[in-house]
Amino acid sequence: MKYYILFGPPGAGKGTQATAMVEKYNLHHISTGALLRKEIAAGTELGLQAKALIENGCLVPDEVVEGMIESEFKTVTGVDGFLLDGFPRTLPQAEALDQILAKTGEEVTATVSIMIPDAMIMERIKGRALKEGRADDASEDIINNRIVTYHNQTEPLIEYYGKVEKYHEIDGIGTIEDVRDRIFSVMDKF
C-alpha cells in the first residue's frame, strides 16, 4: 500500500492535482475537512465527538482526526494507496501518522509538495475569491495570515520528511498539465 502526503500553500492547485493523482495511481483521497463532514453525517462515535466540538466553536483535536484517518486506512478497499491532503500539518501529527502506519508495518511513501511563491498565492486566492465568491479569500489580511500559518506549520515538516528522503518539491508554476507532469514524474518512481 502506498501512502502519499500532498503539501502546498493555499492556491497552489492541490485540489486540481489531487484529482489526477487519485485517478492515475488508484488512490483514495483523504481530505481532513471532507472526512470530518463524512463522519458527522454518518453519525459515528468520532463524528459525534467532532460535531459537538465544532458546534461549541472548538477545534477538533488531533486524536479525533487521527482516529478518522486510521479508520479510513482500515475500511477503504480496492485502492493501491492513499493521498493525504491537509494532514499532517504539524510535527506531532506527522509523528502520530508514523505510529498509525507502523501498527501495520507501513510507512509514508512520499510527500509531494507543490510550491509557488507567496506573491502568487496572494494573486491566485484573490482570483479564486472573485470567481467563486469566497469571502474568506477576499481579504489580504486573511490571506497573509494563511500564508504565514502555512509557512510556520509546514516548514518543520519539510525538514522532518527531508531527513528520511521522503520530501519531493514540485515547481507549481506553469500550466496545470506542466505541474501534473512534474508530479507524475516523481510518483512514477514509487
CB 84 within 8 Å of CB 4: yes
CB 1 within 8 Å of CB 106: yes
Euclidean distance between CA atoms 36 and 86, whole angstroms:
12
Point out the residues that are catalytic.
Answer: 14, 89, 128, 134, 146
Tell me the C-alpha to C-alpha distance, in Å, between residue 45 and each of 39, 60, 64, 68, 101: 8, 13, 10, 10, 22
Strand 2-7 to 81-85 pairing: parallel
Question: Which H or E element spans position 121?
Answer: helix 118-132
Sheet holding 167-171, edge to edge: 27-31, 81-85, 2-7, 110-115, 167-171
